[in-house]
Structure 1
Amino acid sequence: MTIAARALPTSLSLEGKKVIVTGAASGIGRACAFAAIELGASVLVNDRDSLDEVAVDLRAQGGDVETLQGDLTEPGFIDKLIAKGPIYGLAHCAGILGRTPLHDLDDPRERFMETMDVNVRVPVDLGIALTDHMAENGGGAIVMIGSVAGRTGGTSLSTPIDYSASKGAVHVVIRWLSRRAVGKGVLINGIAPGPIDTPMTVGNTTIADKLPTGRKGRPDEMAWMVMMLLTPAASYVSGAILDCNGGSYVG
Structure 2
Amino acid sequence: MSAGTTEQPGVAVVTGAASGIGAAVAAELRERGWRVAGLDLTASGAVDLALEVDVRDGAAMAEAVDRAGRELGDVTAAVSVAGHYAMAPLAEITTEQWQRMLRVHLGGFTNLARAVLPGLLARRSGSVVAIASELAIGGGDEDAHYAAAKGAVLGAVRSLAAEAAPRGVRVNAVAPGPTDTPLLAPDSPWRDRDYLDTLPLRRLGSPQEVALCVAWLLEEGTFCVGEVLNPNAGAVI
TM value normalised by structure 1? 0.84
| Contact 1:150-1:168 within 8 A present in 2 as well | yes
What is the CA deviation profile of residues 35-73 of structure 1, one whole-angstrom value per residue up to 9, with x for unaligned ones?
00111000000111242xxx1xx3xxxxx6001111011
| Contact 1:12-1:228 within 8 A present in 2 as well | no
| Contact 1:197-1:217 within 8 A present in 2 as well | yes
Deviates more, 1:66-75 or 1:128-137: 128-137
Q: Classify 1:97/1:31 alpha carbon distance in 2 versus 1 (closer, same or farther; 3 Å).
A: same
Aligned to 1:183: 166
Q: Which amino acid aligns with 1:181?
A: A
Structure-1 separation of matches of 2:230 and 2:58 = 32
| 1:211 CA displacement | 1.6
Structure-2 separation of matches of 1:164 and 1:129 = 25
Unaligned 5+ runs, structure 2: none
Q: Which amino acid aligns with 2:224?
A: V
Identity %: 30
Structure-1 separation of matches of 2:204 and 2:100 = 27
Unaligned 5+ runs, structure 1: 59-63
Structure-2 separation of matches of 1:79 and 1:124 = 11
| 1:138 CA displacement | 4.3
What is the CA deviation profile of residues 199-250 of structure 1, one whole-angstrom value per residue up to 9, with x for unaligned ones?
111222314233221110000000000000011x211111000111100135
Instruction: Pick one of 133, 139, 148 that aligns with 1:147.
Output: 133
| 1:9 CA displacement | 6.8
1:230 matches 2:210: no
1:240 matches 2:227: yes
Instruction: Pick one of 14, 20, 29 that aligns with 2:22.
Output: 29
Aligned to 1:208: 196
Q: Classify 1:210/1:9 alpha carbon distance in 2 versus 1 (closer, same or farther; 3 Å).
A: closer
Q: Classify 1:137/1:13 alpha carbon distance in 2 versus 1 (closer, same or farther; 3 Å).
A: closer
Structure-1 separation of matches of 2:142 and 2:23 = 23
| 1:103 CA displacement | 3.0
CA RMSD after TM alignment: 1.9
Structure-2 separation of matches of 1:138 and 1:75 = 23
1:217 matches 2:205: yes
1:192 matches 2:175: yes
Q: Which amino acid aligns with 2:135?
A: A
TM superposition outliers: structure 1 runs of 4+ over 6 Å = none
SS of corresponding position for 1:80? helix
